[in-house]
A and B are shown apart, each in its own frame.
Chain A
Amino acid sequence: MSLKVTLYGITRDIVGTSVIELPAPAPTTVGELLEEMRRQYPALGELRSCAVAVNHEYADNDHPLHTVDEIALIPPVAGG
């Protein structure tokens, strides 16, 4: 089972697509996901911040990931 991650804003520009699928063995935590994404796309590491949201909530590095979760990469926000 692959892990599906949705990308927004500058992270989508960096990766070049709005959804990326990470095949098994997929990262099992937020920290592993960030590590893997930064390994594949070093430009992500140059952002002011890059958070991960799981089911519409910001998630810490040790938060577990499941294939049914709605996972998104959250670059620095700038609403208002």
Chain B
Amino acid sequence: MTPYLAITDQPIDVAAALAAVQTDTAGAVNAFVGTVRNQSGGRPVRRLHYESYDSMALTQLGHVVAQAYEKWPMLQEVAVVHRKGTLELGDVAVVVAVATPHRAESFAACQFIIDTLKQVVTIWKREEYEDGTEWVAAHP
């Protein structure tokens, strides 16, 4: 039941995250995989840089997962792995994997965790274009 939470500067092993939530008591494993896209708002993106305030990010991630356990008491296992550093197009930036007995709660809990993570977890994204870089979501 202890969630597997990590922030890493190494490539993310999606299969390992899925394996981490696998349990005989849960029939539904759901995963969200976020990858680096080649454009943002119509502007070609060359690569991404993620910066993390690790200790706070892990604290906040723990809060998000605790909220998910409260909302879906049947939630059994959770794994969240977020990458930091420089990522190339197609690289995996984040994996959220959850396991529940039935699928509806599995989809819902997975979506809640990724949506909430993006609002509170202290990780910042800087997009690199042909002609410069920009911190994502910094300005209105």
Contacts and interface: CB of A to CB of B under 8 A. Distances in A.
| Contact residues of B: prevailing secondary structure | mixed
Q: How large is the interface on A (under 10, 10 to 19, 20 to 34, 35 or more residues)?
A: 20 to 34
A31 interface: no
Greatest chain B CB density within 10 A among A10, A47, A58, A75 is at: A10
B139 A79 contact: no
Contacts of A9: 51, 124, 126, 135, 138
Interface in A61-80: 72, 74-80
A56 B59 contact: yes
A78 B124 CA distance: 5
B138 A76 contact: yes
Interface stretch (B12-20, B21-29, B102-110, B113-121): B113-121
A78 B125 contact: yes
B94 A80 contact: yes
A10 B59 contact: no
Contacts, number: 76
A79 B120 CA distance: 9
Contact of A56 (B55, B93, B117, B125): B55
Given A79-B125, A80-B93, A47 B118 contact: no
Interface string A23-65: 0000000000000000000000011100001001110000000
Interface of A: 6, 8-10, 13, 46-48, 53, 56-58, 72, 74-80
A64 to B, nearest CB: 19
B118 A78 contact: yes
A8 B51 contact: yes
A57 to B, nearest CB: 7
B116 to A, nearest CB: 10
Given A53-B56, A76-B137, A8 B93 contact: no
B72 interface: no
Nearest to A57: B59
